[in-house]
């Protein structure tokens, strides 16, 4: 079995993998002898052993000459994982700090008003659609209008068991976050979706302040209709793209920057809003 190849897959160099594998087979060994048996140049062997010791893969005896032994694989690999985990954590913290610093620098740039510009972008696949949903809080300033068609009921409500990995629960989570920030949200969903999804999701909210903010900022009505879109601040529209091979499934999502088109959709939303039935979240 290619142990050295597997060790290199975990990030060890060729010499480090060779030294550790050789020590496992030979037991307690001196650096010079290990150099011969592992074909590692003498000029490199001490650096390699020092690296392995720092990783928790090798122990040494403070004698003259020093003796080395491989740490038991189960312990050594756990040490390697812990070290990698700590390094990754530090890298992420440093990356987050750099992102914050760069975000602060970009905040000094005065961007042009995009509300009069026509532009569209397409996102393909559930992962990208979910990313769009989670980016809503970065885009919205005042209002979100959201309507889903009647056919969504049979796709989301399955024997009253809600799959948390579906898109709609993520939408609800983001709506709750937006409401807590003071964003006004108006939703039109099929009645079955409120029964099986909305009430289920909102019932998990325990904080009184969160409940108050939701009641103030989220207004919902139930209605069976054929419309399906999400409107952000009168100029950004998200429209689902059905899969041609299975029209009941989403293939992607179209994002449109067009104030004139958004105005027409807002008029349509208000038209069907009047027809909807007021929903009680049943807190």
Q: Is the pLDDT of residue 162 over 50?
A: no
Confidence band, pLDDT 50/70/90 cuts, at residue 161: very low
Q: How many CA atoms lie within 13 A of 4 on its CB side?
A: 13
Determine the distance from the C-alpha atom of residue 274 to the mean position of all C-alpha atoms in its chain, rounded to a whole number: 36
> In this prediction, what percent of the chain has a pLDDT beyond 70?
87
Confidence band, pLDDT 50/70/90 cuts, at residue 172: confident
Q: What is the pLDDT of residues 220-264, one digit of tens each?
A: 898 988 899 999 998 899 998 888 887 777 788 899 999 999 999
Weakest mean pLDDT among 35-39, 140-144, 152-156, 163-167:
163-167
Given strand 67-70, what is the order of strands in its sheet?
29-30, 67-70, 58-61
Q: What is the pLDDT of residues 179-203, one digit of tens each?
A: 888 999 998 988 777 666 666 666 6
CA–CA separation, 69 and 10 (whole Å): 20
Q: What is the pLDDT of residues 1-51, one digit of tens each?
A: 578 889 999 999 999 999 999 999 999 999 999 999 999 999 999 999 999
pLDDT of residue 190: 86
- Tell me which of 114 and 140 has the higher pLDDT: 140
Count of all residues that appear for the chain in the document: 283
Q: How many CA atoms lie within 13 A of 184 on its CB side?
A: 4
pLDDT of residue 24: 92
Average pLDDT value over all residues in the chain: 84
Classify the C-alpha dihedral 100-103-104-105 as positive or negative. Answer: positive
Weakest mean pLDDT among 6-10, 64-68, 131-135:
131-135
pTM higher than 0.85 for the full model?
A: no
CA–CA separation, 92 and 80 (whole Å): 18
């Amino acid at each position: 079995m290619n142990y050295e190849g597997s060790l290199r897959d975990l990030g060890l160099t060729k010499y480090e993998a060779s030294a550790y594998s050789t020590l496992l087979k030979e037991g307690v060994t001196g650096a010079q002898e290990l150099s011969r048996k592992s074909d590692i140049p003498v000029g490199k062997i001490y650096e390699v052993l020092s690296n392995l010791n720092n990783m928790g893969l090798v122990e040494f005896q403070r004698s003259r000459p020093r003796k080395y032994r491989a740490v038991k694989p189960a312990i050594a690999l756990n040490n390697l994982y812990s070290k990698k985990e700590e390094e990754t954590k530090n890298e992420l913290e440093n990356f987050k700090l750099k992102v914050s610093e760069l975000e602060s620098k970009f905040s000094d740039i005065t961007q042009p008003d995009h509300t009069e510009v026509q532009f569209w972008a397409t996102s393909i696949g559930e992962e990208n659609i979910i990313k769009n949903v989670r980016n809503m809080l970065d885009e919205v300033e005042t209002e979100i209008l959201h309507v889903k068609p009647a056919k969504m009921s049979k796709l989301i409500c399955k024997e009253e068991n809600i799959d948390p990995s579906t898109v709609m629960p993520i939408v609800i989570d983001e709506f709750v976050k937006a409401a807590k920030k003071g964003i006004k949200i108006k939703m039109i969903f099929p009645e079955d979706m409120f029964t099986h999804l909305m009430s289920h999701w909102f019932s998990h909210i325990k904080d009184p302040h969160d409940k108050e903010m939701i009641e103030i900022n989220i207004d919902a009505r139930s209605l069976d209709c054929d419309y399906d879109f999400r409107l952000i601040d009168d100029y950004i529209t998200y429209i689902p793209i059905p899969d041609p091979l299975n029209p009941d499934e989403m293939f992607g999502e179209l994002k449109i920057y067009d104030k004139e088109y958004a105005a027409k959709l807002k008029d349509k939303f208000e038209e069907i809003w009047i027809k909807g039935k007021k929903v009680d979240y049943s807190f």
